[in-house]
Amino acid sequence: MKVLHVIPSYYPAFRYGGPLQSTFLLNQYLTKAGVEVDVLTTTAGQEPSFVLAASRGWQQVDNHRVLYLPYRGYEHYNFSVPFYKKCKELISQYDLIHITGVWNFTTWAAAFWACRYQKKYLISPRGVLYPEAFRLRSYLIKKMYYHLFTRRYMHHADLLHYTTHDEQEHSNAHLSIRTPSVVIPNGIDMHTVCADGREIKDLHRPYLLYVGRLHRIKSLELLITAFHEINNPDFHLYIAGDYNTEYGRLMQNLVEKRGMQQQIHFTGAVYDERKWFLYRHAYLFVLPSRSENFGMSVVEAMACGCPVVISDRVGIHREVAAHQAGVVHQLTLNSLKEALLTFMRDCYLRDCYAANARRLVEEEYEIGKVSERMKKIYEELLS
């Protein structure tokens, strides 16, 4: 089975966030499972030295091939004449086309030629069709683009792939989508989280943890205020993410205004061993996001045996609640405070939920199992 995965940007452009990383991991394990995967993408998000090397044609990236093509204009639209021509040349050679993204030229070009060649294709929207995400930026442009282009190629798709039941329900209802759809979550490599990680000295314990972008959609002001009002001197809060942003500076100013500099700490961005160390030794992970398609950081925390407190706007909140892997709160100050205090007051309950969290990841999000489910979907589409 030959699959062409079309995505606007790809490894190693990890600054574009979770969907890119989870797609790269999925393709690694699909290849291990016997699927012949090639990736067609643009050079968006890549360093100049990498772009130069990639201009020589197909690149071997881990265990699969990737073709990076130049683009022009806005980096999150990725308009590219070479990409369009390459779709015309390549798509007829594959059994199935897997497209990631919605608001990109790459998506339109791949869907156009898949229809022309009568090739089956599926689309992974990756959360951008949520009502909140739809309205987040450039709402009128998105609405016009959807009616001119997106609706047509989504209607002709053989399948839509969502990562949570919440995304499936809200996206389909919001846009009255009738295309068949399936839910397969993002996966995590449990081998990555088995090691204890590189020790970070001078950590104050016990501590609550947030890991991710410092962006207004994450509602960190709500978390800082809740932690301040709980006023428990035994606990600390670590906020891990690049704070050299307008919102990051606002949050630092808020901490200073509350006089909480001795209990709330900004670590900056953390990766690899340092990140896993923070997860593994956290008392609790918190994500009070206003909108979150999936919540990969939640899965990472649970994989490390850390229970979670997340808002009901995080995509996997239903699964977390159903498996008692954490507490789900509404986007109000009192609801978040109650959720935090549930664990801060009861370490035995915290440990029970920690075990449930780890078990949930092993059963539902382990990448080997996730890739087998995706492979089965591919086979069903082609049967």
C-beta of residue 136 within 8 angstroms of C-beta of residue 162:
no
Please name which of 138, 178, 144, 186 lies closest in space to residue 162, comparing C-alpha atoms: 186
Beta-carbon contacts of residue 194 (< 8 Å; ≥ 6 apart): none
Per-residue confidence (pLDDT) for residue 16, from 0 to 100: 66
Please name which of 266, 286, 277 lies closest in space to residue 341, comparing C-alpha atoms: 286
CATH number for domain 2-187+366-382, candidates 3.40.50.2000, 3.30.300.210, 3.40.50.300, 3.40.50.1370: 3.40.50.2000
- Enumerate the domain spans of the chain: 2-187+366-382, 190-364
Per-residue confidence band for 196, with pLDDT thresholds at 50, 70 and 90: low
Per-residue confidence (pLDDT) for residue 135, from 0 to 100: 77
Q: Identical fold at 2-187+366-382 and 190-364?
A: yes
Name the least confident of 17-26, 91-100, 157-166, 246-255. Answer: 17-26
Measured CA to CA, the distance from residue 209 to residue 45 in angstroms comes to 28
- DSSP conformation letters of 72-128: BS-TTT-B-HHHHHHHHHHGGG-SEEEEE-SSSHHHHHHHHHHHHTT-EEEEE-TTT
Q: Is the pLDDT of residue 197 over 60?
A: no
C-beta of residue 258 within 8 angstroms of C-beta of residue 328:
no
Phi, psi of 162, deg, nearest 5: -105, 155
Measured CA to CA, the distance from residue 292 to residue 130 in angstroms comes to 9
Per-residue confidence band for 272, with pLDDT thresholds at 50, 70 and 90: confident
3-state DSSP assignment of residue 326: strand
Prediction pTM value: 0.90
Question: Structurally, what CATH architecture does the domain formed by 190-364 represent?
Answer: 3-Layer(aba) Sandwich (3.40)
C-beta of residue 205 within 8 angstroms of C-beta of residue 281:
yes
Question: Token match 């995590």: residue?
Answer: 188
Q: Is the pLDDT of residue 195 over 80?
A: no
Instruction: Give the tokens for residue 92.
Output: 């007829």
Question: Token match 């067609």: residue?
Answer: 40
Rg for the chain, CA atoms, rounded: 21
Per-residue confidence (pLDDT) for residue 17, from 0 to 100: 64
